[in-house]
Amino acid sequence: MALRVTGPYPEAVITGTRKNLAARWLRRFAIAAILCTLACTSAPEFRGHTLDTAAPAHLEGVNWDGSEFDLASLDHDVVVVFFGYTFCPDVCPMTLGRMKQVLAELDERQAERVGVVFVSVDPERDTLDKLADYVPHFDRRFYGVRLDDDALEEAKLSFGVSSRNVDPPSGGENGFYFVDHTGSVFLLDASGRPRVSHPNEAPLADVVADVEALLAAGAA
């Protein structure tokens, strides 16, 4: 049934009203499409501490196998970075073991897209031979990186990490010392930008969830 418009409304007014309504609906549709796009591409919600870092991290040194290491050249969608030293009695071996568990929680294809980087804060004692004996013991896929003093200080500054040598409570024998250092784990995206950090005692499920979130964002 055709709808007849009656009354003292000129045809031009009716036509103009229809055009205005059509334009209004088009604007609403466009706004809805933009909002949907933003929602679909918004940053993932992390369980750890979200980092507001604009620039990619910079790490250049030597890996435990003697090869040159450059963080920017790694072919991974997610890179896990943490700082430690091979003489560490507790936090470092625990963190390395936990990172092996993180990879085990992922499926094989996901795990291949994740790199794990252990950065030594004790280059004086952590020679390449020492790193080669230590890091692959946990997982041969892990990088164990030795930086020179200047590069290490630059890396610590960029990640907000601190470290200092301290004598053991009973006094250091034969020059032995511990290193107090930040134990946080940093998750970097495919561009090398730190996106989220976790304390070393964070629930493993939270770390896995954030790795998966970054993997999903990288695959989008």
32 pLDDT more than 80: no
| CB of 117 closer than 8 Å to CB of 58 | no
| CB of 214 closer than 8 Å to CB of 77 | yes
Task: For residue 33, name the pLDDT band (cuts at 50, 70, 90).
Answer: very low
Q: Which of 32-41, 51-60, 131-140 has the lowest average pLDDT?
A: 32-41
Strand order in the sheet with 194-198: 49-50, 194-198, 185-188, 78-84, 114-120, 143-145
pLDDT at 54: 76
Task: For residue 80, name the pLDDT band (cuts at 50, 70, 90).
Answer: very high
Is the whole-model pTM more than 0.85? no
Residue with the larger pLDDT of the pair 26 and 45? 45
Partners of 82 in beta bridges: 118, 185
Task: For residue 23, name the pLDDT band (cuts at 50, 70, 90).
Answer: low
